[in-house]
Amino acid sequence: MNTILITGCSSGYGLETARHFLANGWRVIATMRTPREDLLPPSAHLRVLPLDVTKPESIAAALEAAGPIDVLVNNAGIGAFGAFEATPMSTTRAMFETNTFGVIAMTQAVLPPFRARRSGVVVNVTSSATLAPMPLVAVYTASKMAIEGFTASLALELEAFEVRVKLVEPGYAPTTRFIANGEQRMEGLIPEPYERYAHRVLSAFAQPATVTRESDVAEAVYRAASDTTGQLRFPAGPDAVALARRQGAA
């Protein structure tokens, strides 16, 4: 039985991905900053562990408690919607700490055992914001674009050791808690000169032609974790798939 460790399982994509792998017979280690076992169905194949990907000691403790794993899914992330001009550098650094450096740190921590046994998969979850420019998410996009480049390069680097590295690129999912979880970070990020423009953008987001479901992302992560064809990118959701095809990436 394969074992998967997923970061950011308290809600959204991470939670649904944990459910999906459990339903498909995997041993699942679901991590979150504040563990809640009641979020997932009881199972002898489930462990819920605390993990803050911005803290090296938390990463080390979680991986020691987890034991050997076959797949790492770097899903934990934070976001903010607002004008870049009004975004404090502290907010920018916080997004990069989780979305970029947290992913890099988790990946680096699992590579020695993966390389030694010549097997293992790292799946990095980014965003369809990397497939086409979107306004008012400049810092968030930058933090995810960094992981796109990191993943593409690392996938080549680790081929010789039979370690696979993949990207999952979710589309727009209004049912997730992305905005709600970032409300405090977003205070003051829409100053008066940007209000009318931001209202138009939010109105467009409120009536999307297509949306991504959490199950779309879970299924894409499952395909990525199981893939042996060398495919790097797995857009998730109809809008992300359409964007990827337009870019020639799918």
**Which residues carry out catalysis?**
140
Angstrom distance (rounded) from CA 55 to CA 92: 17
Instruction: Decide: 16 and 217 in contact? Cβ < 8 Å.
Output: yes
Q: Are 110 and 120 in contact (CB under 8 A)?
A: yes
Interior CA angle at 177 toward 173 and 179, to 5°?
A: 85
CA distance 186 to 184: 5
At a CB cut-off of 8 Å and minimum separation 6, what does 40 contact? 9, 15, 18, 19, 22, 28, 30, 46, 48
The DSSP string of 152-181 is: HHHHHHTGGGT-EEEEEEE---TTSSHHHH
**Dist. CA 62–CA 36, nearest whole Å:** 15
Fill in the DSSP letter of residue 39. Answer: G
Going by their DSSP bridges, the two strands 233-236 and 3-6 should be labelled as unpaired
